Structure formats: structure tokens, C-alpha cells
Structure 1
Amino acid sequence: MNVLKIAAFSDGAAGGNPAGVVLVDAFPGDADMQRIAAEVGFSETVFAVPADRGWRVRYFSPEAEVPFCGHATIALGAALALSQGDGAFALSLNAADITVEGRRSEGNAVWAALQSPPTRSMPATPQLISDVLALFGYAVDDLDLALPPARIHAGADHLVLALKTRAGLASMAYDLEAGRALMKREGLVTVLLLHAQTKQLFHARNAFAYGGVYEDPATGAATAALAGYLRDIGWPHGGVIDVVQGEDMGMRSCLRAEIPARPGSSIRVSGAARLMAA
């Protein structure tokens, strides 16, 4: 089975979050897709089959199927542009219908943009905040409470925790097994840690213990959820935010989110993608 390897949200010819992309006529069995994802070893592998008006899509981490993955969707958009030509493609997920756009450029580079599932957010409970602070070794005084801790959603559930300083973000550390247990118990696909450099520029790190991955270098689903959350709390985002992720891993990734005014509406997340060596 041919697995394309594409780095999504890349920073020029470097960085980005690698994803496996499998385009097939029919899905393999669930156990086979899980095995393939584990063998590929990236944080996500996306499987896509032709459907009536687009593509039916499923996402697998090395340990579990997940409902939505932004960077793998960007990688899929790049793969479809390379195989089908530039355009917009309708995608049917397990619990939502979205679109992805892909446009080829020079060499192996492709630009892609996804339209996320609807967004929502709600304040995190005091107990969840306490548990997550303990997991990462942070204190309440480390938090930037202009961005209150919250459960955020755009196809999958995440927790957002904003930190006052970039140094605090750089110091992120946690126990993978403890993180996995907490995230599975709370139904969180990731925990998004971030620092606001400006009102429209954020530095982020993303713990993905749910999927058996310590840290994700670029997380489009969490970026979409973050953008929806900023809209919900009335943050002065000016209609667009940029997120730099993966710097502390040596895999700098660049994500852009465009934020329409209507509450709950889809977020457009875009970035560059590059084809990696097989």
C-alpha cells in the first residue's frame, strides 16, 4: 500500500508536521488501518476513499482513531492537489462534513487550506485546571488569565492553557502515561499550551498523549478550536491569527486561521505543505 509522507504547515523547505496519506479505492479493515498508522509512526495517518461528491476520510494515530486531524487534512489536500489537480475537495468525516483546498507551487511545495467543523468552547472546571497544572508542573500564577482555561472544540475536544511567558511555554514537560490517562478520562484529544506574543501572534505547544505522541509540531484542529475560542471570548483577533508551533522541537511550523464573525462557524486554517522522501 502506497503511503505518501507530507509535512503540513511547513516553514519553507523545513519544519512542519509529517502525516501519512493513503488514497485507496476502499478502506482496509480497522485493524489494518491502525497497524499501518503505527508502522508509519507519524502522529496521524489519514485514509481517504472516493465518495459520491468527494472523499470519505478517517484518521488514525499510532494508538487510536481520532475524529479529526487538521495537519493530516492539510496533507490530504496537498496529496489531492498533486494527484487530481488544484481545487477544493469535499470531505466526509466520521462526524462532520468539511472541505480542503490544495494548490500546487514550485517543486514539491503545495499550499492547502481546510474549513473546520463548527466550533464551540466552554470554561474548564476548577478540578480539570488543577489536574492539568499538576500534570505539567505549572502554578496558577504561571497562567495568562486574559485567556482563561477552556475546553475548545473544532471537530475534536482540546484544553487550552495560556501561559504568561514564552520561557514558561519552552519549559513544557509532563509524564506521557499520566497525560494519556488524564486525556482519555476527560475526552481530550490534546492539551494546547500557548503564549500570546501579540493579539494576533501566538506561540504554541501541543501535548498529544491521547494518541501516544508526546508533542505535536503542528496541530490544525487545535488551531481551529483556538480561533473559535478567541471569537467566543471577544478577543481582538482582527479576523486572523498566526500560530507558530514546533519551535521547541526544532520543527518550526506556521499556521494561519481566518475567523469569521458568526459564532460557531467554520474556521479556515491554512499553510504550506511539502512532499517528503518516501
Structure 2
Amino acid sequence: MTDDLSVLRYSAFAATPEGGNPAGVVLDAGGVTEERMQQIAADVGFSETAFLVGRTDESGVPRYRARYFSPAAEVPFCGHATVATAVALAERDGPGEVVFDTNAGAVTLRSVVDAHSGVTVSFTSVEPQVRDLDPDVLERLLGMLGLTGSDLDDRFPAREAFAGNWHPILVVDDRDLFDQFRFSPDEVAALMRENGWLGTITVLHSVGPADFDARNLFPVGRITEDPATGSAAASTGAYLRALGHPETTVRIHQGAHVRRPSLLTVTIPPRGGIVVSGGATQIV
């Protein structure tokens, strides 16, 4: 049930027509209660649904209050739902710059129309943070994935990174291990709640200096693995910058393991927020 609200459905960051991460979008949610937004998100059933609950204009730039709900709870920020919402706005109002005030902070978005009349959106994350991952927590997490510290890529030590949500980041050295690790969703979800990881657990494999394959574990939602995760991509950019990684643009290839191939482009400036770019297509 969604009453008379218009709930749009988009797939964001798709690398193929069958790829991307679906998100619900409600452009006009002013006056909708928190309980109703939670119910709508549960009814839609995607990993997140975005709600724009108010608008102001500053210096000619539209500014929206944005909230994000998984089927189970509100989350501070969701990258793929942000891109989906910005595409929906651009299709309705025209491309340009907007600002979303999220529970994680202000996020600036720019949308452009490409040569094929599609809309591409770039969002600049809130100021990122990177911190050490507690050794005991890391050992527990690796054990839950059937991995050990020796399975990680020596060039990329485990860390926690924030660009809207906190994400633990692991880089697995061996391709087969990256493809084949298994985990208990309930066990991993409990660890995530214990550590305040409201986004995903990000597991990467380096396939070149500017390309990473990603698996983002999200058992606290209705899915165990997310096909495209904008906040994790931004956090990965912050993580790589903190490590002194030389590339200023990297590509995150995600979703192959859940048969929804996705591509997220991450631009890493010398300082400030991380820029994540991609498109979204309405699901009819």
C-alpha cells in the first residue's frame, strides 16, 4: 500500500540492461510520517527507497531534505538511491545542480544529459573519514567469511572508511577466494549491528591500478549481497586516498555475483568529498 503517493522505481549504476541496483524513489514526500516511509520501503522491497521530504532554494540551487529507508530501518545515506532520485528529478525538472541534505550531511549532485539522451549523475560525498579496523573485529569478520589475514592483499590493509556510512573494507588477493567465499547472513548481520555498520561490508579484488571488483555484503537488509553500492564506492575512494593510491579515477565493477552487473566510476580529488558517477533507468 502506498496511498496516493507516486513511488517510482529505478535501477542505478547498471553495466548491462539487466544490471544495476533497484531503488524506490518518492519525489514528493512532504508531510509523510517516518512510520509511513518505513512501511512504503518495506512494501517496495528494494534495498533502499529514497524520500524527498522538503525543498528550499538557495542561490538558485534546489536543496532537498532526503531520507533513506531499507525495508527494516532508516539509513543515513544511500548512494544508488541518491543517483536514482537525482535522475528522476532531472527527467522531471531538467538537468543541473541540486543539493540533498541527508542524515549524513549535505551531498551535492550534478546531472547532465548524454548524447543518447540518458542522464548521468555525479554526487560529491560528505567529508570522508578512514580509521583502523579493530584487530579482534577483523579476525571475527574474516572467520565469518572463511578467510584469514594471509588471504588479504598486502598492498591494501583492512580499514574502516566513511563517506556517508561506515564500511569495513577488505581486499582479497586471490581471485578464486574472492569469487567463492561464503558466509552466514545472520552471523554477519549481528556483527554489523554490533559495530554500527549501517551500510555494507565491502570486499574488493584488485584487477588493475584503476579497476576493482567488489562484493558488498548487506545481510541486514532483505538481500545478502548488494549489486551496486554508491556509499561503499565513495568510501573506497576515501580508503584509496588515505593509502596514497596513485590513481585519481577508479572503476568499481560490482553485481556479477548476483547477476546484476554494475559499474560505478569514482573520482578521487586531493581533498574533500569523493565523487561517484553513474546513471539510472526507470523500471516500468
Q: Which amino acid aligns with 1:216?
A: D
Alpha-carbon distance between aligned partners in 2 of 1:110 and 1:67, rounded to the nearest angstrom: 25
Which residue number in structure 2 is paired with residue 134 of structure 1? Answer: 143
* 1:200 and 2:210 correspond: yes
Alpha-carbon distance between aligned partners in 2 of 1:123 and 1:50, rounded to the nearest angstrom: 37
Q: How does 1:218-233 map to 2 (within 5 A)?
A: 218-233=228-243
Question: Is the partner of 2:208 in helix, strand or coil?
Answer: coil
Which residue number in structure 1 is paired with residue 102 of structure 2? Answer: 93
Q: How does 1:98-137 map to 2 (within 5 A)?
A: 98-105=107-114, 109-137=118-146
Q: Which amino acid aligns with 2:45?
A: G
Deviation at 1:219, TM superposition (A): 0.4
Alpha-carbon distance between aligned partners in 2 of 1:216 and 1:65, rounded to the nearest angstrom: 17
Deviation at 1:106, TM superposition (A): 7.1
- Count of residue pairs brought into register by the alignment: 274
Alpha-carbon distance between aligned partners in 1 of 2:244 and 2:116, rounded to the nearest angstrom: 41
Alpha-carbon distance between aligned partners in 1 of 2:239 and 2:126, rounded to the nearest angstrom: 13
2:122 and 2:275 in contact (8 A); partners too: yes
Alpha-carbon distance between aligned partners in 2 of 1:27 and 1:147, rounded to the nearest angstrom: 46
Q: How does 1:10-49 map to 2 (within 5 A)?
A: 10-49=14-53
Q: Which of 253, 262, 278 is the aligned partner of 1:271?
A: 278
Identity %: 38
Which residue number in structure 1 is paired with residue 66 of structure 2? Answer: 57
Deviation per CA, 1:102-146: give whole Å up to 9, x if none.
234577842111111111111211101111011111122211121
Alpha-carbon distance between aligned partners in 2 of 1:179 and 1:25, rounded to the nearest angstrom: 33
Deviation at 1:242, TM superposition (A): 0.4
Deviation at 1:13, TM superposition (A): 2.6
2:68 and 2:76 in contact (8 A); partners too: yes
Q: Which amino acid aligns with 1:179?
A: V
Alpha-carbon distance between aligned partners in 2 of 1:248 and 1:109, rounded to the nearest angstrom: 26
| Cα RMSD after superposing both structures | 1.5
Which residue number in structure 1 is paired with residue 253 of structure 2? Answer: 244
Q: Which amino acid aligns with 2:125?
A: S
2:25 and 2:51 in contact (8 A); partners too: yes
Q: Which of 237, 245, 250 is the aligned partner of 1:235?
A: 245
Change (3 A) 1:250 1:193: same
1:11 and 1:272 in contact (8 A); partners too: no
Alpha-carbon distance between aligned partners in 2 of 1:74 and 1:12, rounded to the nearest angstrom: 17
Structure 1 residues 24-33 or 54-63, which shifts more? 24-33
Question: Is the partner of 2:54 in helix, strand or coil?
Answer: strand
Question: Is the partner of 1:2 in helix, strand or coil?
Answer: coil
Alpha-carbon distance between aligned partners in 1 of 2:47 and 2:76, rounded to the nearest angstrom: 14
Alpha-carbon distance between aligned partners in 2 of 1:46 and 1:155, rounded to the nearest angstrom: 15
Question: Is the partner of 2:154 in helix, strand or coil?
Answer: coil
Alpha-carbon distance between aligned partners in 1 of 2:67 and 2:97, rounded to the nearest angstrom: 18
Change (3 A) 1:27 1:144: farther
Alpha-carbon distance between aligned partners in 2 of 1:147 and 1:188, rounded to the nearest angstrom: 20
Deviation at 1:272, TM superposition (A): 2.1
Deviation at 1:223, TM superposition (A): 0.6
Deviation per CA, 1:125-183: give whole Å up to 9, x if none.
11011110111111222111211111110011010011002221211321111111100
Q: Which of 219, 225, 239 is the aligned partner of 1:209?
A: 219
Uncovered stretches (5+) of structure 1, i.e. residues with no partner: none
Alpha-carbon distance between aligned partners in 2 of 1:95 and 1:10, rounded to the nearest angstrom: 25
Q: Which of 163, 166, 177 is the aligned partner of 1:157?
A: 166
Change (3 A) 1:273 1:252: same
Question: Is the partner of 1:47 in helix, strand or coil?
Answer: strand
Alpha-carbon distance between aligned partners in 1 of 2:186 and 2:139, rounded to the nearest angstrom: 18
Q: Which amino acid aligns with 1:276?
A: I
Which residue number in structure 2 is paired with residue 80 of structure 1? Answer: 89
2:152 and 2:173 in contact (8 A); partners too: yes
* 1:167 and 2:171 correspond: no
1:37 and 1:60 in contact (8 A); partners too: yes
Normalised by the length of structure 2, the TM-score is: 0.92
Question: Is the partner of 2:41 in helix, strand or coil?
Answer: helix
